[in-house]
Chains A and B, each alone.
Chain A
Amino acid sequence: MNKMDLMKIPYYPGCTLNTVAKQFDSSARDSALAVGFEMAELKQWNCCGATFPLAPDNLMGLTAPAKVLSGARKEGDTLTTLCSVCYNVLKRTNSVIRESKEKRGVVNGFIEEEYDGSLNVLHYLEVLRDRVGFEKVKGAVKRPLKGVKAGAYYGCMLLRPFEDVGIDNAERPTIFEDLLKALGAEPVEFPNRIECCGAHLAMNDEEVVTRLSGAVIDSAAGMGAELIVTSCPLCQYNLEKSRGAASNGVPVIYFTQALGLALGQEIETLGFEKNSTDVMPLLKKKGIV
């Protein structure tokens, strides 16, 4: 396909995808091209703030994401992102700006912009499902993940709160499993797939993170998963770090690495060596590589 014909979607990488999660970014960009769209990185962007302020009077917490949104609106009517936290913060901020005239006025005053909340914030998974279509993704698969029992780990930020994020049912989502099915894998639903990994407590309470992330891995392995896929660098970090605490050694990779793998990209370009769990023995065992 000629690159000029590709659907271009403005893309917000966020800080982590530029540093410790480069493999998440690069595998997503390459996969996008293979299924017919191009991720056009925003000309200018800043940190989203990494947390949506839960106390509604804290408008200062909305200024950083609002600046990202207002910049993105100048480049198109849609914005896509990969990190679940960035997605959650940007999408929720966008809703506040769109729905509250008063808050919109205050936030715009701070950032000296006139942004109206008209951007459509989509997670990369939504782009695949709603713009590309999982059928088309399935058609583009060159190296099916046949026989791989994969557990999709949603975590919190991709799903909650439902009324603002709305990517899928908050209690029984399927978007992730549907993608894995399209890639030829056997999705495994496990009880802790929508539970918290411990998030930023990685900073000062390792016991909580080890316990929660360990429980996620045990829960997946208990249902037969041989692989866990994530959509958030912090989930990925916490799960990989806590793996020793779990009773088994299930590797953890970004969903875009699984996607790139299935789409037939060169193994060396998928950045598996940047992960701290090794997926290669599993792929060899399954005859995928």
Chain B
Amino acid sequence: MKINLSNQDVQSAGVGKVERLSGEDLKKCYQCGNCSGGCPVSYKMEIPPTRIMRMLQLGRLEEVKAANSMWLCVGCLQCYSRCPKGCSVAAVLEAMRQEALRESADRVEVKDLPMPLLKKAPQQAIVCGFRKFVS
């Protein structure tokens, strides 16, 4: 497959912002795949963690933003725990989530949550969920 790379994409302001917000140096990733191997939700991600890192290195931010991946990451830190380079894909996805929520609508609304959940689920599920899905 032919890939067209330009400096403009690779060094885009958008990717730079992800790096700044997450505190991660995306270039450190050398694609070993440990993160995708350990990630409990990679089975459901449209773009799994290792590929997210590669795509961001190549400046393909919009495709990563459009995928469901960042909304599935719960921050269990298995990716970070097993990364030989000390990268946290979870932090990268959290930075992207923050940006997305600032730019667009919230992902969940209280009125849509089922009553049995609100009554029985530990508060931490609700509080944590709102912090991940609402700006």
CB–CB B21/A196 < 8 A: no
The 7 lowest CB-CB distance pairs between A and B, nearest first, are A203-B129, A196-B76, A50-B127, A54-B94, A156-B76, A160-B77, A200-B129
The A-B contact count (CB < 8 A) is 130
Within 8 A of B (CB), among A170-208: 170-171, 195-196, 198-205, 207-208
Tell me the complex Cα distance, A202–B121, Å.
8
Stretch at the interface among A12-20, A145-153, A247-255: A12-20
Q: Which of chain A's residues have a CB closer than 8 A to the CB of B90?
A: 54
Considering only CB atoms, which chain A residue lies closest to B99 in the complex?
A: A55
CB–CB A161/B131 < 8 A: no
Q: Is A62's beta carbon under 8 Å from chain B?
A: no
Q: Which of chain B's residues have a CB closer than 8 A to the CB of A115?
A: none
Number of interface residues of B (CB under 8 A): 38
Kindly provide the distance from the CB of A243 to the nearest chain B CB, expressed in whole angstroms. 14
Contact of A212 among B40, B120, B123 (CB under 8 A): B40
Considering only CB atoms, which chain A residue lies closest to B75 in the complex?
A: A54
Q: Which of chain A's residues have a CB closer than 8 A to the CB of B133?
A: 203-204
Given contacts A85-B128, A161-B80, 9 further A-B contacts (CB under 8 A): A16-B123, A20-B123, A50-B131, A51-B132, A156-B76, A162-B81, A201-B129, A203-B125, A234-B128
Binding site for A on B (CB under 8 A): 20-23, 40-41, 44, 72, 74-78, 80-81, 88, 90-91, 94-95, 98, 107-108, 113, 117, 120-129, 131-133
Considering only CB atoms, which chain B residue lies closest to A86 in the complex?
A: B124
Kindly provide the distance from the CB of B90 to the nearest chain A CB, expressed in whole angstroms. 5
Contact of B91 among A56, A61, A196, A203 (CB under 8 A): A56
Q: Is A47's beta carbon under 8 Å from chain B?
A: yes
Considering only CB atoms, which chain B residue lies closest to A164 in the complex?
A: B77
Q: Is A144's beta carbon under 8 Å from chain B?
A: no
Q: Is A221's beta carbon under 8 Å from chain B?
A: no
